[in-house]
Amino acid sequence: MGELFAVEATTAAIVLRSLVVSGLATLLAVLVGVPIGYAIARRQFRGRTLLLGLINTGLGMPPVVVGLVVWVLLVRSGPFGDLGLIYTPAAMVLAQFLLATPMVIGFTIASVQALSPRLADLLTVLGAGRVRTLWLMAMEARLGLLVAIMAAFGAIVSEVGASMIVGGNLERSTRVLTTAIVTETSRGEVERALALGLMLLGLSFSVNLTLTIIQQRARP
């Protein structure tokens, strides 16, 4: 009986860790990606097309490659080894942040470009400062921006390669739903793996449902 509770507690911790790690990575990606996407959408500059090409490549970046690069940077003997971040949830947040940011940038560009090019001029002459203009533009583009958040969270909560490499799948500190599924499957615990799979789908569904409710409520 005690063992069963212990198992439940571990599973709950894994679900919570998945939510926190991917949620935090998404939040950081939004904070960084939305202003960058806005700037790219609004400005003309040399190398813009090249940058757009890079971002579009970033949309389909293999998580395992990103994980590998972050691992090379953070591993004890690597350039940022002294930070001691390798095999911690922070390293996983970093890797997932790198995966999510191009998505947020890409979706932001698309939704800002769909706005009238005169909207920013209008807000400026109405007396809105830079920050206020950015905020009002984001509110206008909110449908697209919420899609960006959903897509980014959905992608990183379900990736396994980067989390496995930089997190190390340590049972008590860095195991998340995806890496747990891999572990259970390799142990032959198929039923447990399937149960964890359902939990992952459930988590993804609840987060997306919440965002969808916000999106549809905000629908103009």
Residue ranges binding other proteins (CB under 8 A): 116, 118-119, 121-122, 124-128, 132, 136, 139-140, 220
Give me the least distance between CB of 214 and other proteins, in Å please.
Answer: 16
Map tokens 């191009």 to a residue: 102
Query: DSSP state, 45?
Result: -
- 190-217 helix and 177-186 helix, angle to the nearest 10 degrees: 160
Cα distance between the two ends of the chain: 53
Q: Please say which residue, 12 or 126, places its beta carbon nearer to other proteins.
A: 126
Q: Please say which residue, 2 or 127, places its beta carbon nearer to other proteins.
A: 127
3-state secondary structure of 1: coil
Q: Please say which residue, 22 or 133, places its beta carbon nearer to other proteins.
A: 133
Give me the least distance between CB of 218 and other proteins, in Å please.
Answer: 10
Give me the least distance between CB of 174 and other proteins, in Å please.
Answer: 43
Give me the least distance between CB of 40 and other proteins, in Å please.
Answer: 19
What is the Cα–Cα distance from 104 to 126, expressed in whole angstroms?
29
The letter for the amino acid at 101 is T
Which are the contacts of 67, defined by CB distance < 8 A and separation ≥ 6? 95, 161, 162, 163, 164, 165, 166
Give me the least distance between CB of 213 and other proteins, in Å please.
Answer: 19
Q: Please say which residue, 120 or 157, places its beta carbon nearer to other proteins.
A: 120
Q: Please say which residue, 64 or 139, places its beta carbon nearer to other proteins.
A: 139
What is the Cα–Cα distance from 43 to 24, expressed in whole angstroms?
29
